[in-house]
Structure 1
Amino acid sequence: MQAITRRLKGAVAAALTAASLTVAAPAAAQDVDFAGRTIEWWIPFSEGGGSDVWARFFAPYLAKHLPGNPNVIIRNVPGGGSITGTNEFAARARPNGLQLLGTSGSTQFPFLLGDTRVRYDYADFEPVLVSPTGGVVYIPASMGIADASELGQLDGQELVYASQGATSLDLVPMLAFEVMGLNVRHVFGMTGRGDGRLAFERGEATIDYQTSSAYLTNVVPLVEAGTAVPLFSYGVLDAEGNVQRDPSFPEIPHFIEAYEMMHGEAPSGVAFDAYMAFFSSGFAAQKPAMLPNGTPENIVQAYRDAFTAAVADPDLIAASGEVLGEYDQAVGDEVVRLYEVATTIDPEAREWVRTYLSENHSVMLD
């Protein structure tokens, strides 16, 4: 992965803009004061979606732990699959700490793919929080596969996956299957992963994945009933960017472990690099919160400190189960590395994905 190059152009002007805070911003984060101010947290999705729920969950804890206890409100700016609102934020947000952006994998993917509609650059934002999620791939028990160690028995068999679209979050399982060497036919048109699960239960799909909460709620009963078998989770990334087992499913091997079981060696190559980029962006670091380009360092630090305190807040911990699951939130110093992994892609890997989508699924991104 290429390292992010931070852009410092306009930093002097940004520092002057930051003076709109009630106290001019000196070097120390504790000298920032948002008392009496209102912070807009931009979400480029409609109300009620996953990113909206995530931001509304965090908002009162952010307000509680930022200096001066400002009012934090959510501003929904939907459109263009989240591209519209993110473009607007990149063009209009002022670097004074009063505007924050939250995106999701479906915002990161167009950026990573080089979609010409994108007018934002993740290298221009300052990350202050990154939230992961997880997912598990499973097949029918009727296929006679007991676990990932028997994946080789699927060689040559056609599997069917009910997909929401080739450039949606279903790009991650698509690339996982490609790298793994599974023969999977993707049937598009699903409106959500719930539709994919129902297709699986009806026998129309023979391989599926569900995010952690949906898997625990809807698929574990199928596993317990002996009708579904988990193959692998996508896993999570540690602070150094290494794949580890998903804490929600510690008994299930992650993708790399399953690949090694099937092929006897670790995955490598440009296709695997592409998979890692989109897995990181779509799951391991799915939801980042960011400040605009040029935000003074002390304001950035104040936000990072606030989110660090928020995730350690006993009230947040007690209420976090359904929204955040078992996943550690990346805050403080850890946020930079995970954000970098989730928002960068090697140019060769990008071109490989674009060519793969064009040749196999007639997806044209120019």
Structure 2
Amino acid sequence: AGGGSADTWARTFAPYLTKYIPGNPEIVIANRAGAGGLIVANYLQESATRDGLEMGTLQRNNFLAPLLAVEEDVPFDPTKVTHLGSLSREMQVLFTYGPEPMVNTLEEALNTPLILGGTAITEENVTYPMLVNELAGAQFEIISGYGSSDETYLAIERGEVDGRAASYDSTLRGNLERWTNEGLLHIFMQFGFERDPALPEVPTVMEAIGDDPNAASLVRLMLIPQELGRPFVLPQGVPEDRVAALREAFEEAAHDPEFQERVAAFGSSIQLVDGEEIQAMSEEIMATSPEIVERVVGGGGWRSAPGSYQLEAYTDFGMLAAAGDALVIILTPERLGFLCIGVLAGLVIGILPGIGGLTGFALLMPFTFTMEPYSAFAMLLGMASVTATSDTIPAILFGIPGTAASQAVVIEGRPMTERGEAGRALSAAYSASLLGGLFGALILAV
């Protein structure tokens, strides 16, 4: 999704990758959000062109989804795409939010009934806490089904949940960086085989499960995706010479000094994983024995695990909460700016007879192809919201309807203008439009 980690990595890396691809082609970022990254994963596997002109970034959870999604058919198979490489190795952590830590020791963490939020049921921010519940006897209550990480963070700030699982890298930027700097984010467990040097005081999941070898095998399966980091892939079937050229360009771009400096400015670093290594890890995942998979999914799957609940996106939040989340998303200077641009464009389009909203969409749509999705939607929404208002102006002043919807206004509006009552006619038309809009919104809400 636009603005997410995968999108940020792709947009940051693209200018450097194109420098090392023969011919220096322009790279256009096209977001395909949804299903925890499986929308783009399935597209690359099934529909993308096999000429090397389309590549994508996958989510780590996509690699385990075919094994864990018991109640859903996940057609994606990570061995059926060609891996270019990854720019990082990730590590997940569990954290709580608040002025004081909710747990201070490993024993407290396993025995305190914390409420943790999460997104899709196959995402690491859901499966990893469940893993601790299953193998270490923790008492986490896991609320999954939030539409995005941003929605989960809003739920944390509202007090709906106590915390969540997230990559350690993500705690160094954005909202989580602000929480960290303000002393509100408290990491109490890390998902790694050993303690990371950056978190020497934080216990690992391996410490939580003890010396059980069967449990260790399950943990290895679950932690392999962290080694995958942020994988970039091609569709299977791309000619080998093009795959080799793109892999070479990927490695050279990853070592570009300017790119590494830019990544360091984000509080992160490059830990290159080559395509062959990711291909091997994908094959290891898909070759997991049925016995281990059965134990991981527990027969009924993660969804039926005790202490976990699946939200229907937005339904349980209610319309007002969803509207509040949307308001938070739109109230940024950049998106408000594009909203204003759309409003101005809509005013002009409505005033010019014969153009109308559909033509306006056609005119503005090409500009949205390389835009961040929320900004693009704001611009189109601004345009559409005023087109049906400004078309009244030529209908009343000149007797020429701006669109078909304003034809009726000509009947009484134009004669009023001829009598010197143009202001009154416009006021009446806009008042009727306001009342009609409010009534329609009320009917939709009910």
Q: What TM-score bracket applies, with the shorter chain setting the length?
A: 0.5 to 0.7
Q: Which has the higher contact order (CA 8 A, sep 6+)?
A: 1
Unmatched 5+ stretches in structure 2: 311-446
Q: Which of the residues 309, 327, 330 maps onto 2:252? A: 309
Residues 48-67 of structure 1 correspond to what in structure 2 (within 5 A)? 48-67=3-22
Structure 1 segment 41-80 matched on structure 2, within 5 A: 46-80=1-35
Contact 1:138 1:228 in 2 (8 A): yes
Q: CA RMSD in A?
A: 3.6
Give the number of equivalent residue pairs.
Answer: 301
Residues 85-96 of structure 1 aligned to structure 2 (within 5 Å): 85-96=40-51
After TM superposition, the structure 1 = structure 2 runs for residues 155-170 of structure 1, keeping only pairs within 5 Å, are: 156-170=111-125
Counting only pairs closer than 5 Å after superposition, residues 251-266 of structure 1 correspond to structure 2 as: 251-253=200-202, 255-256=204-205, 259-260=206-207, 262=208, 265-266=210-211
Secondary structure at the aligned position of 2:55 is classed as strand
Which structure has the larger Rg over C-alpha atoms? 2
Partner of 2:78: 122
1:321 aligned residue: 264
Cα deviation for residue 311 of structure 1 reads 1.2
CA shift in 2, pair 1:206/1:73, >3 Å: closer
Q: Residues 130-141 of structure 1 correspond to what in structure 2 (within 5 A)?
A: 130-131=86-87, 132-139=89-96
Q: Distance in 2 between matches of 1:266 and 1:57?
A: 42
For residue 30 of structure 1, what is the aligned residue in structure 2? none
| Distance change in 2, residues 1:245/1:297 (3 Å) | farther
Aligned pairs for 1:1-366 within 5 A? 46-113=1-68, 116-131=72-87, 132-139=89-96, 145-146=103-104, 150-154=105-109, 156-170=111-125, 171-194=127-150, 196=152, 205-206=161-162, 208-216=164-172, 229-235=186-192, 243-246=193-196, 249-253=198-202, 255-256=204-205, 259-260=206-207, 262=208, 265-269=210-214, 272-281=216-225, 283-321=226-264, 325-331=268-274, 334-340=277-283, 345-354=288-297, 355=299, 356-360=301-305, 361=308
Alpha-carbon distance in structure 2 between the residues aligned to 1:332 and 1:86: 16
3-state SS of paired residue (2:29)? strand
Asked whether the equivalents of residues 115 and 140 of structure 2 are also in contact (C-alpha less than 8 Å), the reply is yes
The CA deviation at 1:229 is 4.3
1:280 counterpart SS class: helix
1:255 counterpart letter in structure 2: T
Alignment deviations for residues 218-277 of structure 1 (CA, whole Å, 9 cap, x no partner) = 567767877664322224xxxxxxx45446x24344624xx42x56x445325x544433
Question: Which residue identity does 1:179 align to in structure 2?
Answer: L
Give how far 1:126 is off: 1.9
Q: What's the secondary structure of 2:114's corresponding residue?
A: strand
Report the Cα offset of residue 280 of structure 1.
Answer: 2.9
Q: TM-score, normalised by structure 2?
A: 0.56
Which amino acid in 1 is paired with 2:213?
S
Aligned in 2, Cα 1:290/1:164: closer, same or farther, shift over 3 Å?
A: closer
Cα distance change, pair 343–193 in 1 and its aligned pair in 2 (3 A): farther
AA in 1 matched with 2:78? Y
The answer to which of 121-130 and 199-208 deviates more is 199-208
Unaligned runs of 5+ residues in structure 1 are: 1-45, 236-242
Query: Matched residues in 2 for 1:266 and 1:220: separation?
Result: 34
TM-score of the pair, normalised by structure 1: 0.66
Further displaced range: 173-182 or 108-117? 108-117
- The 8 Å contact of residues 161 and 185 in structure 1, kept in 2 or not, is answered as yes
**1:5-41 deviation per Cα after TM superposition (whole angstroms, max 9, x unaligned):** xxxxxxxxxxxxxxxxxxxxxxxxxxxxxxxxxxxxx
Percent of aligned positions that are identical: 24
Greater strand share, structure number: 1
